[in-house]
Structure 1
Amino acid sequence: MNKKELLEKIAPCSLMCHTCSAYEHGVISKTAKELSKYMEGIYEFYEKHSPKESEHFKIFQEELVKYSEGKCSGCRNREHHGCSIKDCFILDCTKERKIDYCGECAEFPCNKTQKIFEEEVYLQWLEGNQEIKNWGIEGFWEKNCEKPHYKIYKE
C-alpha cells in the first residue's frame, strides 16, 4: 500500500480510521455492506417460515445498514460529522509541523494530548506513535490493520 493510502486509513494521532465504525471507507462499513448484500431477502424468508424469528433479522438488517453508511470521511479530513474526539487539535498540529503523525514530531510525546484523550486512548496514542517511530508507517500498518479499533475497552 502506498503512503497516500496509508494516510487515509491512519489518523495523524496513529489511531486507525480503517477499523473505526464511523469511517465511511473502513473495514466495518465495507463488511456491513457486503454482509447486507448477502442477507437480502432473509427477513422475508423468516417472516414466511418462522415469524417469531423474523423480527431479530429485521433489527439486524437495520443495524447493518446503519454500519454500512459510515458518516466520517477520516481524521485527515475536516468533515468528521461529530464522530471525532472533541477538541482534537492533532490534525492542525501535524500540518503546522509538516509531519504525518505525532510520532514523527521532535516533541513527541507532548503533554497536550493528555487533555483530550481518556486514559485508554492516550495509552493507545502513545504506543501507536512509538511503533511508528520504531518501525515506520508500513510496519505499524502491518501490525495493526486487523486489530479491533475498540478492543482497548475490553482489556
Structure 2
Amino acid sequence: MTDNQNEFIKERLAPCGLHCGKCFAFAGGRIHELSRELQAALGNFGAYAERFVTLLNDPVYASYPEFTKFLDHLAEGGCGGCRREECRLFASCGVRPCARERNVDFCFQCAEFPCDRTGFDENLRRRHVAINERMREIGVERYYEAIRDLPRY
C-alpha cells in the first residue's frame, strides 16, 4: 500500500475501525454529498409541498418542513473524521486518545486489545471488536476494500 493510499484509508477509518467516511456527519462523505444534491434537486419544492397536501389529497406533503430540517442537518457534514477531531457521535469515546497514547493506528495493533477503554455501549463494543479482529485477520487495506461501498448504519 502506498503512503497516499494508507493516509486516505486512515482518514476514512477511525482508530476503532468504524468508517468515518460513511458517517452522516463526515464532510465530503457520500451522505453529505447526496444530501446537498437532493437539496439542489428539490429547489423551491416547499412552496409546492404545501399545495400538494390539498391538490393531491396527500397529507404526507405536510411533513416536508420537518424533512427539510433533517436534510439540512445531513447536508452540513462538518466533521473531519475521528483522526482530525473528537468524535461527534460518541461523547464517551476513549479510543482516539488511547490510540494516540499507545501510538497505534487501530485498536487491534495494541497488545491490550480488546480492552475496556473504549467507552462504547455493549452493541458498539461488539462491533468494534469484530471490525478490529477482521482487520487483523485480512489487513487494513483489504478490510477497507471490502466495506468501502457498504452503508455504515
**TM-score, normalization by structure 1:** 0.79
Question: Of 131, 134, 137, which residue of structure 2 is paired with 1:131?
Answer: 134
How many residue pairs were aligned?
145
CA contact (8 A) 1:12 1:91 kept: yes
Displacement of 1:79 in angstroms is 4.6
Residue 41 of structure 2 is aligned with which of 23, 38, 44? 38
**Does the Cα contact within 8 Å between 1:75 and 1:84 map onto a contact in 2?**
no
Q: Deviations over 1:102-153 (max 9, x none)?
A: 012222222333xx11111011100110111111112111222233323xxx
CA gap 1:133/1:23 in 2 versus in 1, 3 angstroms: same
| Pairing of 1:89-104 with structure 2 (within 5 A) | 89-104=94-109
Residue 70 (structure 1) aligned to one of 70, 74, 77: 77
* 1:11 is the counterpart of 2:14: yes
User: Aligned runs of 1:73-88 on 2, under 5 Å?
Assistant: 73-80=80-87, 83-88=88-93
The 10-residue stretch of structure 1 (104-113 or 8-17) with the greater mean CA deviation from structure 2: 104-113
Matches of 1:112 and 1:91 in 2, distance apart? 10
The amino acid across from 1:89 in the alignment is: G
> Which has the larger Rg?
2
| Unaligned ranges ≥5, structure 1 | 151-155
* SS across alignment from 2:145: helix
Identical-residue share of aligned pairs (%): 30
- Picking from 54, 67, 72, the partner of 1:60 is 67
Maintained 8 Å contact 1:9/1:17: yes
TM-score by length of 2: 0.80
